[in-house]
């Protein structure tokens, strides 16, 4: 039945896989784009039967796992809601919905799922941690905008639902660097728009005082962590 169906291919790509005895098998995959955090985003733009979508999704997931991809996002316009059940059967879950689309997500690796929860506004914190020698705690990230740039930046992160700013910034510093801190005050904040899937973003820069001084960086998100004396050598930005 499926072989006789007519489908649009703008949401698919074809990849060649070499088989024994020099045979080549063409494997159809879903089109996707890489995001900044080691994952992929799939935008379903053309109508597709769920019986065609299911094997394409399974083959694509297999390929993404081989490539070491992490989070997989599928954006389904409301007119393609017929594909929701097929995606859920392959391990996807709802992340957020807007009037014209549903976003589904799946975490592929056998590690802690670090996909952020959805919110109308994303609230972030940045930690300005300075010791008695006026040295500032900074990090280099191994994902996101500054990956591979050599830029040192303040530890930053997202405030969890129901979490106070002071608790969040202390937690982020501990998670990223292993340093215990004490909240002092909010130094500044800024607002930006269309930051994360079109949502607005609030970032609060907070001053913290270190209570411990041994740095133990988090390998999952942090490439390096150290203290710097010259404040001109690091970046205040969060993304």
- The C-alpha atoms of residue 67 and residue 153 are separated, in whole angstroms, by 29
> Under DSSP, is residue 10 helix (H, G, I), strand (E, B) or coil?
coil
Task: Look up 28 and say whether it is catalytic.
Answer: no
Sheet of 101-107, strand order? 33-34, 40-43, 71-77, 101-107, 93-98
Residues 6+ apart with CB under 8 A from 67: none
The structure tokens listed for 53 are: 């979508």
Strand residue runs (E) in the chain? 12-18, 24-30, 33-34, 40-43, 71-77, 93-98, 101-107, 121-129, 136-141, 152-153, 156-158, 181-196, 199-210, 222-228, 234-235
The catalytically annotated residue of 175, 180, 221, 223 is 175
Q: Where are the alpha helices (DSSP H) in the chain?
A: 50-66, 84-89, 165-177
Which of 103-116 are b and which e, b meaning 16 or more Cβ less than 10 Å from the residue's Cβ? Answer: bbbbbbeeeeeebe
> Catalytic positions, please?
175
């Amino acid at each position: 039945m499926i072989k006789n169906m007519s489908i649009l291919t703008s949401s698919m790509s074809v990849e060649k896989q070499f088989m024994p005895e020099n045979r080549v098998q063409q494997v159809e995959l879903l089109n996707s784009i890489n995001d900044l955090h080691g994952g992929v985003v799939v935008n379903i733009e053309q109508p597709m039967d769920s019986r065609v979508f299911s094997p394409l999704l399974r083959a694509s997931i297999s390929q993404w796992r081989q490539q070491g991809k992490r989070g997989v996002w599928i954006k389904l316009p409301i007119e393609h809601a017929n594909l929701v059940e097929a995606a859920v059967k392959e391990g996807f879950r709802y992340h957020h919905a807007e009037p014209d689309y549903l976003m589904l997500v799946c975490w592929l690796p056998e590690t802690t799922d670090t996909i952020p929860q959805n919110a109308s506004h994303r609230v972030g914190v940045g930690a300005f941690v300075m010791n008695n020698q006026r040295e500032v705690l900074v990090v280099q990230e191994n994902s996101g905008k500054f990956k591979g740039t050599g830029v040192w930046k303040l530890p930053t992160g997202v405030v969890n639902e129901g979490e106070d700013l002071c608790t969040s910034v202390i937690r982020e510093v501990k998670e990223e660097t292993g340093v215990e801190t004490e909240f002092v005050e909010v130094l500044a904040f800024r607002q930006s728009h269309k930051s994360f899937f079109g949502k607005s973003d609030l970032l609060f820069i907070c001053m913290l005082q270190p209570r411990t001084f041994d740095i133990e960086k988090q390998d999952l998100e942090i490439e390096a962590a150290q203290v710097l004396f010259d404040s001109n050598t690091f970046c205040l930005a969060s993304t």
